[in-house]
């Protein structure tokens, strides 16, 4: 049983993971990151899980890496940091992941939110990379994913000053897709997750993979991957079912085949 997470299941096929280290504003220590990685591995292996929502508390999605734990690690400790394996597992999660962010999403917390495919933010959410204030810099994708999400000027400003931005600002910049009242953030994320969970799983998986390719490949390679994925889906039963259901004016029943 995880000690730092709560896990709930919603039909059809949605898993809600809530970070729970309130005493440290959900700071990401080794235990929390390892438990999160294990939970995502479980969700990935479970055919019944079609989408995952990740959230924190009203005050903090996550306030970054656990600074007290960081204080105990020297250079050798960082080179052999067990949290790296956890971050890798989170990075390679291949089902839809939606972050419902209220309050602080700072440092590793902002980086964790950026691992999600979709970010829904409460209007009081604050996104920032304050590592520079500690004499360090982002180390879990913060320079790379933030720049791709908000562009060079905004990413430079955030990373070099450490100043956070609010939810509306983050939405205008492209980091967040929707802003809600804080009490509805999780509900809205669950609604989107349920919608995605009803789609054909193979199409969802390949569409996610193709969209992520656009972040790290050139256009010609990305288009080749898209064409290949599109062709693979042409041979699936779910494609036949989707088209037949349209013609018969009914809701499709997808089986993942």
Which parts of this chain interact with ligand CAA (CB under 6 A)? 24-25, 27, 63-68, 104, 106-108, 111, 130-131, 134, 138-140
Residue nearest to ligand CAA (CB): 107
Minimum CB separation of residue 115 from ligand CAA in Å reads 12
Cα radius of gyration (the chain): 19
CB 207 within 8 A of CB 222: no
* Matching residue, tokens 């009490």: 183
- Per the annotation, the verdict on 39 as an active-site residue is no
CB of 65 to ligand CAA, least distance (A): 4
For residue 235, give every residue at least 6 positions away whose Cβ sits within 8 Å of its Cβ, in sequence order, or none.
Answer: none
Please identify, using beta-carbon distances, which residue of 84 and 177 lies nearer to ligand CAA.
84
Alpha carbon of residue 192 to chain centroid: 14
Partners of 93 in the β-ladder: none
Q: How far is the CB of 245 from ligand CAA (least distance, A)?
A: 45
Give the Å distances, CA to CA, from 180 to 26, 59, 176, 189, 208.
21, 15, 11, 10, 24
Q: Is 103 a catalytic residue?
A: no
Strand, helix or coil for residue 148: helix
Residue 160 class from Cβ within 10 Å (0-12 exposed, 13-18 middle, 19+ buried)?
exposed
- In the complex, the smallest distance separating the C-beta of residue 108 from ligand CAA, rounded to whole angstroms, is 3
Indicate which residue of 56, 103, 107, 108 is catalytic.
108
222 flagged as catalytic: no
Closest contact distance (angstroms) between CB of 158 and ligand CAA is: 12
Specify whether 108 is catalytic: yes
Catalytic: which of 65, 125, 197, 229? 65
User: What separation in angstroms does the CA of 17 have from each of 37, 91, 98, 103, 191?
Assistant: 11, 16, 10, 17, 15
Q: Cα separation of 120 and 236, whole Å?
A: 32
Active site residues: 65, 108, 111, 131
């Amino acid at each position: 049983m995880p000690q730092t997470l709560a896990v709930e299941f919603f039909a059809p096929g949605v898993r809600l993971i809530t970070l729970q280290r309130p005493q440290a504003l959900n700071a990401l220590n080794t235990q929390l990151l390892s438990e999160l990685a294990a939970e995502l591995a479980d969700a990935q292996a479970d055919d019944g899980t079609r989408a995952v929502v990740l959230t924190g508390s009203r005050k903090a999605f996550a306030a970054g890496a656990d600074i007290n734990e960081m204080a105990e690690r020297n250079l050798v400790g960082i080179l052999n940091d067990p949290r790296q394996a956890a971050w890798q597992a989170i990075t390679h999660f291949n089902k839809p992941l939606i972050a419902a962010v209220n309050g602080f999403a700072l440092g590793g917390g902002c980086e964790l939110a950026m691992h999600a495919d979709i970010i829904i933010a409460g209007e009081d959410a604050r996104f920032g990379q304050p590592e520079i204030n500690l004499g360090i810099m982002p180390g879990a994708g913060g320079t790379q994913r933030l720049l791709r999400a908000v562009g060079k000027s905004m990413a430079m400003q955030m990373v070099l000053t450490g100043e956070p931005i609010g939810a509306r600002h983050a939405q205008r910049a492209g980091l967040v897709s929707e802003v809600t009242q804080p009490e509805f953030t999780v509900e809205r994320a669950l609604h989107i997750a349920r919608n995605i969970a009803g789609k054909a799983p193979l199409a969802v998986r390949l569409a996610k993979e193709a969209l992520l390719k656009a972040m790290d490949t050139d256009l010609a390679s990305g288009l080749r991957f898209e064409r290949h994925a599109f062709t693979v889906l042409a041979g699936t039963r779910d494609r036949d079912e989707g088209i037949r259901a349209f013609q018969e004016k009914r809701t499709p029943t997808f089986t993942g085949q």
